[in-house]
Amino acid sequence: MPRSPSAVTARLASAPPFVLTVWATIAAFSTYFCMYAFRKAFAAGAFEGVVQLPGLPPLQYKSVLIIAQIAGYCVSKFAGIKVVSELTPEKRANAILICIGSAAAALALFAVVPRPWNVICLFGNGLPLGLVWGLVFGFLEGRKVSDVLGAGVSASFIVASGVAKDVGKRLLGLGVSETLMPLLAGLLFAPALLVSVWMLSKIPKPTADDERLRTRRDSMNAPARRSFLREYGLGLVALVILYIFLTAYRDFRDNYAPELWSALGYGERPSVLSTTETIVGLSVMAVMALLFLVRDNKKALLMIHFALLAGALIIGLSTIAFERGILGPRAWMTAVGLGLYLGYVPYNCVLFDRLLASLRVVGTAGFLIYVADAFGYLGTVATYLAKDFFKPHLSVLEFFKTFSYATSLLCVVCAIASMSYFALREPGARRSARPG
């Protein structure tokens, strides 16, 4: 027998829509913001030197740490295709706490296990954290205001990364060791995390009006997932390839932000990490939230593709302008961040939510998000390996500029291909993604 909703949930369900929107946005934003402290603070450390792992040539210690964490995150994304798709709503809040608690335990081991074996601990840190986004977004999808909610929570991972690294730098400045710093940075956010997850757990389910406008959302079993891929796989391939490049580009820019800013002459200004990303985050959040005004799902999907295309062009054109001296270093880093997140953010909130609504398919956006994420982070691992094995002497800044051009070109091609494919798909009668 289903449990009756709590008093808080009942009051939110009967409150004006604005109240629920604000509550859900704060809950989701702060939950994911706090999670980032457990994931990204370690990148503030230099972790200098090389390590020798069995069967491998000497590698830069920080590069190995980054690859290990991303590898764990990547494995988590493949697992999330099943876990996030099938997990029932009432289990999501506890699952979030279990995932972040496990990641914190891995950071505690990272502080005490000697180099190079503590690399394994960062793999263990990334392994549960890859599930958190899908668990959080599950509370937000399939609503009339999902565009606004998605924009709000997406701003968290843009802003939080810079803040987490700023906190890490400040802890290092206080004399905290590089290996202990990631755990302490995360624990500073633990009280806010507990409150935020409690707030998430009180969000009521989508209403009948939500389902009418965005289709009903439900878990998807294996036959349902295969059925969707058979019918729409070709368009999904173009979107996934595009996302592979965006994810790898974003993660490289993010993890090597201190080195990039140092190479550009801003090494002694740690606040530049958070202030620049705040500008980018607010700009992208505003663009995504405006989609709320577009009621027609087909038109909204087309507009999202235009955002993907615009973002790719901004990355390439701003890099040309930087190399020709038209843009300064700070303006360039802000511009490529804006272009990157104009393309990246829709995947994590509005793109797949609107895609399901446009196609009139009953399912969960979490499934599509995790298909894209899984291959996106696999591409990220390949990028780091390619740099360390094939271009080990290329500076971080030179590699990033080359990567900017490649990302821009490939993403333009894939955005046009996906837009053309889905423009030709007519929405059918509302149908379930679950066969039978």
Taking 70 as the threshold, does the pLDDT of residue 417 lie above it?
yes
Quote the pTM value.
Answer: 0.76
Residue with more model confidence, 156 or 78: 78
Q: How confident is the model at residue 1 (pLDDT cuts 50, 70, 90)?
A: very low
**Structure confidence at residue 193 (pLDDT):** 96
pLDDT tens track for 100-116: 999 999 999 999 999 88
Predicted confidence at residue 2, as pLDDT, reads 44
Q: Could you tell me how many helices (H) and strands (E) the chain has, helices first?
A: 18, 4
* Residue 431 pLDDT class (50, 70, 90 cuts): very low
- CATH code for position 303: 1.20.1250.20
Report whether pLDDT(96) > 90.
Answer: yes
Identify the pLDDT of residue 435. Answer: 45
Mean pLDDT score, 49-56: 75
**Residue-wise pLDDT tens digits, 252-289:** 888 788 788 888 887 665 556 566 777 777 777 777 77
Helix (H) or strand (E) holding 432: strand 431-432
Backbone angles phi, psi at 93, to 5 degrees: -60, -50
What does the alpha-carbon distance between residue 415 and residue 407 come to, in Å, rounded to a whole number? 12
Residue 436 has pLDDT above 50, yes or no: no
* Interval 4-33 mean pLDDT: 89
Least confident of 69-78, 207-216, 232-241, 346-355: 207-216
Output the six-digit token pair for 18: 């604005």
Q: Does residue 63 lie within any of the structural domains?
A: yes
For the purposes of burial, counting CB atoms within 10 Å of the CB of 435, is it exposed (0-12), middle (13-18) or buried (19 or more)? exposed
Asked whether the CA dihedral 404, 407, 410, 413 is positive or negative, the reply is negative
Q: What SS3 class is residue 51?
A: strand
- Contact predicate 196/97, CB 8 Å: no
Report the C-alpha gap between 365 and 348 in whole angstroms.
9
Q: Say if residues 51 and 116 touch (Cβ distance below 8 Å).
A: yes
Task: State the Cα–Cα distance between residues 315 and 319, nearest whole angstrom.
Answer: 6
Average pLDDT over residues 208-225: 79
Q: What is the pLDDT of residues 179-188, one digit of tens each?
A: 999 999 999 9
If you average pLDDT over residues 64-70, what whole number do you get? 88
Q: Are the CB atoms for 335 and 421 separated by under 8 Å?
A: no
pLDDT attached to residue 47: 86
Lowest mean pLDDT among 85-89, 201-205, 247-251, 311-315: 85-89
Quick check: 304 and 242 in contact, CB under 8 A? no
In a domain, 277, yes or no: yes
For the chain, what percentages of helix, strand and coil (3-state, to nearest 5) are there?
75, 0, 20
Give the three-state DSSP class for 90.
helix
Q: Find, among 430, 212, 137, 416, the residue nearest to 302 by Cα.
A: 416
Whether 2 is in a domain gets the answer no
Domain total of the chain: 1
Q: Is 389's pLDDT higher than 70? A: no
What pLDDT score was predicted for residue 61? 86
pLDDT of residue 268: 60
Give the pLDDT score at 326: 93
Of 55-64, 164-173, 404-413, the poorest mean pLDDT is in 55-64
The predicted model gives 18-31 an average pLDDT of 92
The answer to whether the beta carbons of residues 363 and 220 sit under 8 Å apart is yes
Mean pLDDT of 131-149: 86
What mean pLDDT comes out for the span 150-157? 77
> Is the predicted pLDDT of residue 428 greater than 70, yes or no?
no
Q: Note whether residue 1 is domain-resident.
A: no
Least confident of 61-65, 116-120, 341-345, 364-368: 364-368
203 within some domain: yes
Single out the residue of 392, 343, 352 nearest to residue 371, CA to CA: 352
Number of neighbours of residue 376 by Cβ within 10 angstroms: 27
Secondary structure (3-state) at 87: coil
CB 228 within 8 A of CB 361: yes
Q: What is the pLDDT of residue 269?
A: 59
Amino acid 216: pLDDT? 75
The strand ranges marked E within 308-414 are 361-362
8 A C-beta contact, residue 137 and residue 349: yes
Lookup: tokens for 305 = 């593709």
For the residues 346-360, what does the mean pLDDT come to? Answer: 84
Is the pLDDT at 362 greater than 80, yes or no? no
pLDDT(55) > 80 = no
Domain that holds residue 150: 7-432
Inform me whether the pLDDT recorded for 365 exceeds 60. Answer: yes
Distance between CA atoms of residues 128 and 133, nearest Å:
11
In Å, what is the CA distance from 125 to each residue of 194, 254, 265? 19, 17, 32
pLDDT of 371 higher than 80: yes
Strands 50-51 and 59-60 turn out to be: antiparallel
Instruction: List C-alpha distances in Å: 78 to 4, 128, 244, 261.
Output: 34, 12, 14, 33
Residue from 86, 108, 69, 149 nearest 384 by CA: 69
Residue 48 has what DSSP assignment?
-
Amino acid at the residue 240? V
List the single range of 15-29, 301-315, 344-358 with lowest mean pLDDT. 344-358
- What's the start-to-end Cα distance of the chain, in Å? 24
Residue 54 belongs to some domain of the structure: yes
The pLDDT score that the predictor gives to residue 390 is 65
